[in-house]
Structure 1
Amino acid sequence: MTKNSTSSTTVPDTVWLGRGRHLGPEPEQDVRRNLIALKAAGVLDDFLDLDPVEAARSTVLHPRDESADPGPSARRLFEARWRVADDVTVRAHLTTYDPEPRRKDGEGVAWVLAAEAERAWDAHWASPATMFWPDSERVPWDHGTVPGVRLRTTNQLPKDDDKLRHRLRDCTKQSWFIHVVVHEAMTPDAVGERPISTFLPPSLRHRVVEHRATPEQAQIADFAMKRELSVRMPRGGAVILPPAPKIPGYDAERFSVRSVFLDGLAPTELLDRIKEFAALPRPLQADAERALTQLRQGWHLLTPDEELVHAQGMVTRYAEALEAMTNSRDRYQEAAEAAQAALADVTGGDGVPRPPAPGHVKADGSPLSALTKAFGRFRDPNK
């Protein structure tokens, strides 16, 4: 998997993107079990489990495009199709990758997930992540690409100043998720340790990473954010970190909340700011663009209607190819017959060349010239 770079293209409002690492022993088996269970329950219309090499060779909707290939480190491809409100079809594509050899922690199978709906994405729809991964704490699929960061839980900021700054910097540059830092005004009880993401709509829940700063980290965390990201962390409040580079519409004051009570109740103001931030246009990073291309151009899981349209299109293309071959054969046959006629004129029909009669041959009208013109039809089939 390659490093990120940004482009002027923004993420379409129909698309849901996510990526992370699975630290368990059988990631693909966890996906298969979940897909089988959801299809049996009628949640999924259908799914496919594909080998990357075979999938690249058998792409049916589009001609093979190198940008749609998952790359040599891909382990497995999964496609799933389901419907949400008002029969809106969602198509999703998940690819698992071998661990990156240069990672310091050297752990985990990487995964990339791209989903696209037939209309603008609604945060209240089911999360595409839970269509492939079981939403269970016992399955460790939710680790971020940044070491030490995980979805579905709270992540304590490192105690060390340098590690804290590196954590913040890596999260804003490498991650596709929304990162929120919450400062604990006092050490929370078990209810207060509950992640704020549990109060978010399903499709937004798995796009948010929550970091926690302990009461004694107020100054060090605030200083690190001011230095690295040009934002401030209110004491006992929260701030949504800006991605790098910053996206249009981001304002540090707007996406900071003065007070967040960790009492087990929904922090309404912070939740509203997260939803507002999620609605901002996001640059489509290079890795994300490749994932979206794979989804659109490497799709295999067709509906019956799509299979019929595809079959009709194949029949039309084969008929056009056959007609072109027939026309080409007819042109070459005409040229061959003309060549045989010219050869007969030269040899008199018995294979023995005849000299031209005196006074009856023009400068450019010899039998040899006629034969040359006839054979010239082979070189120019348009004649």
Structure 2
Amino acid sequence: MPTTSTVRATVPPTVWLTRGRRTGTGAEDELRESLRGLKDSKHIDDYLELPPAGDEAGDLVFEARTRVAGGVVVRARLALAPATDDGRDWTLVAESAGALWDLDWPAPTGMFLPQGTDTDWDADPATGLRPGTIHPLPEDDKEVRRLLRNCARSGTRIHVVVHEAMTTDERGRVPLAHWLPPGLRPLVVEHRAAPHQLRVVNWALRESGLQVPRGGALVLPGRPSPEGYDAGTHSVRAVFLDGTEPAGLVAAVRGYAALARPLPTEAEGALTALREDWHLLSPEEELARERALVAMYAEALEAMTKSRDLYREAAERAHEALAAYRESAGDPPAGGQPPDSSAPVSPLRQLTRTLDRLKPPAGLRRTVARGPDGRSTPSGS
């Protein structure tokens, strides 16, 4: 029986997005204070707070605009969900104007979130873990399996499992984020497996067909996996945890981030709102929008005028055809007036007159009869 496959939208190459959770309280006030400070210090051009749409329980939305790489405009939108017992989830979507997103640009989280090591803003909603630090795997086997399953459900974060071939010293405790470009640091969550946990990790990953190399690392795919993901390409056989840059692992993570990843369902609405319901416009953008509206209205008016003229022309032709038909059928014209002898004769009328001229005179017409043998005999003979 044939099956129908659903084509998932992918994250556009101009877009940067992530989701997080703010634990604790006071999220709204912290955001407002952070945005005011960022604008005063010229880190962002401007920002705008939008009230919840519809009812009081909706998302609280903040928009911000900045420039990167010498003038590329970046628009960003952060939607703060209503509070729950676990905190407040947020979704951040940013898009550059006419340029592919460069991971060497500053992360858009810096356009909104308070900065500092003690911030409670960047927890991964699927796992509760934060980027930028090392997270040892749990000792319980079932907990390891549950954690790795949750990693696959983390649609916007990139999870990496590193196996320590031997117990590391302080030099080996440098987080992977230290070596990543700014645009990847808020997205990558690093898990460390102790030397004795390799078997447990690979047992937990068995159902997905993945394996972590001994003393190496693996970039975990999301669910569904990005098109082009390959466990061999996105894994590293050996990671030297001696304080030097793990160049192979950094390349694997960057390669994974460059794949066309599926657009998470919960981020589709945020991206649509960023593109179609943007409110924070500069004076130049406001003028361009008004000009576009004027051009659109002028085009619509021209189309309506053209349609009206075509309708009028079609109606006139229909009336002419109806009048010609009535004349050819011998009907008197409307109003009881005699037909104008100078009016043009229709083609049907001309054909009728021609046939009349070709008829033989009445005296020459003879009736043809059939004889007993079936031959024709002129009447009167």
In the superposition, the TM-score normalised over structure 1's length comes to 0.72
Match of 2:177, SS state, is helix
Q: 1:339 aligns to what?
A: none
2:13 and 2:227 mapped to 1: Cα distance?
16
Question: What is the CA-CA distance between 1:73 and the residue it aligns to?
Answer: 4.6
C-alpha change, 1:214 and 1:52, in structure 2 (3 Å) is: same
The answer as to 2:71 corresponding to 1:80 is no
Equivalent position to 1:97, from 81, 90, 106: 81
Match of 1:223, SS state, is helix
CA RMSD of aligned residues (A): 3.0
Q: 1:202 aligns to what?
A: 182
1:275 and 1:319 mapped to 2: Cα distance?
48
Question: What is the CA-CA distance between 1:167 and the residue it aligns to?
Answer: 1.1
Which deviations, in whole Å up to 9, do the C-alpha atoms of 1:21-48 show, x marking residues without a partner? 0113212222222222221121211111
Q: 2:37 aligns to what?
A: 37
Q: 1:28 aligns to what?
A: 28
The sequence identity of aligned pairs, in percent, is 47
Aligned structure 1 segments of 4 or more residues deviating by more than 4 angstroms: 312-323
Q: 2:161 aligns to what?
A: 181
| Contact 1:142–1:152 (8 Å) recurs in 2 | no
Letter of the 2:273 counterpart:
Q
C-alpha change, 1:259 and 1:321, in structure 2 (3 Å) is: closer
Match of 1:210, SS state, is strand
Residue ranges of structure 2 left out of the alignment (5+ in a row): 1-5, 303-333, 336-381
1:90 and 1:285 mapped to 2: Cα distance?
21
Letter of the 1:291 counterpart:
A
Q: 1:166 aligns to what?
A: 146
Question: What is the CA-CA distance between 1:51 and the residue it aligns to?
Answer: 1.0
C-alpha change, 1:136 and 1:173, in structure 2 (3 Å) is: same
Q: 1:289 aligns to what?
A: 268
Letter of the 1:39 counterpart:
K
Residue ranges of structure 1 left out of the alignment (5+ in a row): 1-5, 57-70, 101-105, 324-363, 366-383
The answer as to 2:282 corresponding to 1:303 is yes
Question: What is the CA-CA distance between 1:310 and the residue it aligns to?
Answer: 3.1
Question: What is the CA-CA distance between 1:317 and the residue it aligns to?
Answer: 7.8
C-alpha change, 1:308 and 1:262, in structure 2 (3 Å) is: same
Q: How does 1:60-139 map to 2 (within 5 A)?
A: 73-100=57-84, 106-118=85-97, 119-139=99-119
Question: What is the CA-CA distance between 1:309 and the residue it aligns to?
Answer: 2.7
Letter of the 1:245 counterpart:
P
Question: What is the CA-CA distance between 1:269 and the residue it aligns to?
Answer: 0.7
Larger RCO: Structure 1 or Structure 2 (Cα < 8 Å, ≥ 6 residues apart)?
Answer: 1
In the superposition, the TM-score normalised over structure 2's length comes to 0.73
C-alpha change, 1:15 and 1:215, in structure 2 (3 Å) is: same
Asked which structure has the greater CA Rg, the reply is: 2
Q: 2:373 aligns to what?
A: none
Letter of the 1:17 counterpart:
L
C-alpha change, 1:8 and 1:234, in structure 2 (3 Å) is: same
1:249 and 1:270 mapped to 2: Cα distance?
18
| Contact 2:127–2:150 (8 Å) recurs in 1 | no
| Contact 1:52–1:75 (8 Å) recurs in 2 | yes
Match of 1:296, SS state, is helix
